[in-house]
């Protein structure tokens, strides 16, 4: 064996060894996108309210912001977020699904108005309505109004693709539970991993990824959520530290009033 031929064989072995094959698709693949979406929606119905603590990091034009956030979420679209510091709360956002309040305790300003994506984004950097904020934080996803649906297996995961009449598209990606790839479709438990929406010209509008799922009282929740809103220049990561289901929710948890010395501003929606 010549030295040159030996070097070529070694180089080929290195290249082959460094290539990782994609995970295999299930032996029997799912083909019905609506059935898959309905099954996912059904698994989301096992709880009414949720209390959680999370570490939130935002990247935006003003730089990186990090903080601890206490959350109360109640279906279908009631939310409360308390941004905490070592000295206590710095800001509190509440929405009962219709009315919105934001107490900025550092600036001593109280904002109120209707609930809309722009007002939710004042604190969270995520420009979606309260109901979809709840979905994003609990392993679910907003969906476009689709006129067409299709489904395929890519690199071992299922991808449901939605197309709207305006040309926008959405991909919703599910992983298959470990050890279930040899099972028939009805026994393949799926986990939401990614959801992304593109405009008619193909430009990415937003993308959310879900990782590090944990089980709480038989329900599965992601504890590492990343939401990138390209259309509005925001990037938010949520790392959930604790979750409790169906806690006792105070009657006034989703509404607040201004303190006696706070300046009051009206938060309008477009």
Beta carbons of 173 and 155 less than 8 angstroms apart = no
What is the pLDDT, as a whole number, of residue 63?
Answer: 66
In-domain check, residue 94:
yes
Positive or negative, the Cα torsion across 152, 153, 158, 164?
A: negative
Average pLDDT, the chain: 88
In-domain check, residue 10:
no
Give dist(CA 122, CA 128) in Å, integer.
Answer: 11
The kind and range of the H/E element at 11 are helix 3-18
Res 62 pLDDT > 80:
no
Q: The domain that contains 230 carries what CATH number?
A: 2.50.20.10
Q: Calculate mean pLDDT across residues 216-224.
A: 95
Under DSSP, is residue 120 helix (H, G, I), strand (E, B) or coil? helix
CA dihedral 168, 136, 90, 122 (to 10 degrees): 20
What is the pLDDT, as a whole number, of residue 164?
Answer: 98
Q: What is the tens place of the pLDDT at every residue in 166-194?
A: 999 999 999 998 878 888 988 898 999 99
In-domain check, residue 1:
no
Domain assignment of residue 124, given as a range: 23-266
Phi, psi of 36 (to 5 degrees): -65, -45
Give dist(CA 222, CA 205) in Å, integer.
Answer: 22
In-domain check, residue 2:
no
Phi, psi of 216 (to 5 degrees): -130, 115
Domain tally for the chain? 1
Res 264 pLDDT > 50:
yes
Percent of the chain with pLDDT over 90: 67
Beta carbons of 200 and 180 less than 8 angstroms apart = no
SS3 sequence of 233-259: CEEEEEEEEEEEECCCCCCCCCCCCCC
In-domain check, residue 95:
yes
In-domain check, residue 6:
no
């Amino acid at each position: 064996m010549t030295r040159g031929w030996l070097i070529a064989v070694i180089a080929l072995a290195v290249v082959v060894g460094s290539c990782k094959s994609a995970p295999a698709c299930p032996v029997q693949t799912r083909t019905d996108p609506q059935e898959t979406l309905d099954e996912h929606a059904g698994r989301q119905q096992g709880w009414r309210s949720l209390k959680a603590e999370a570490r939130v990091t935002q990247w935006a034009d003003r730089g990186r912001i990090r903080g601890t956030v206490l959350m109360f979420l109640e279906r279908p679209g009631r939310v409360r977020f308390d941004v905490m510091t070592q000295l206590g709360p710095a800001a509190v956002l509440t929405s009962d699904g219709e009315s919105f309040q934001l107490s900025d305790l550092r600036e001593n300003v109280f904002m109120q108005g209707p609930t809309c994506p722009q007002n939710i984004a004042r604190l969270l950097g995520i420009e979606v309505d309260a109901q979809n904020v709840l979905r994003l934080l609990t392993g679910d996803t907003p969906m476009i109004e689709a006129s067409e649906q299709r489904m395929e297996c890519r690199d071992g995961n299922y991808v449901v693709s939605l197309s709207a009449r305006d040309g926008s598209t959405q991909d919703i990606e599910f992983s298959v539970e470990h050890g279930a790839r040899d099972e028939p479709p009805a026994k393949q438990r799926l986990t939401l991993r990614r959801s992304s929406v593109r405009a008619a010209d193909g430009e990415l509008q937003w993308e959310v990824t879900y990782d590090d799922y944990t089980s709480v009282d038989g329900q599965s929740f992601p504890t590492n959520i990343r939401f990138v809103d390209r259309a509005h220049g925001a990037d938010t990561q949520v790392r959930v530290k604790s979750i409790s289901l169906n806690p006792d929710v105070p009657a006034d948890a989703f509404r607040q009033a201004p303190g006696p010395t706070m300046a009051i501003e009206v938060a309008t929606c477009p």
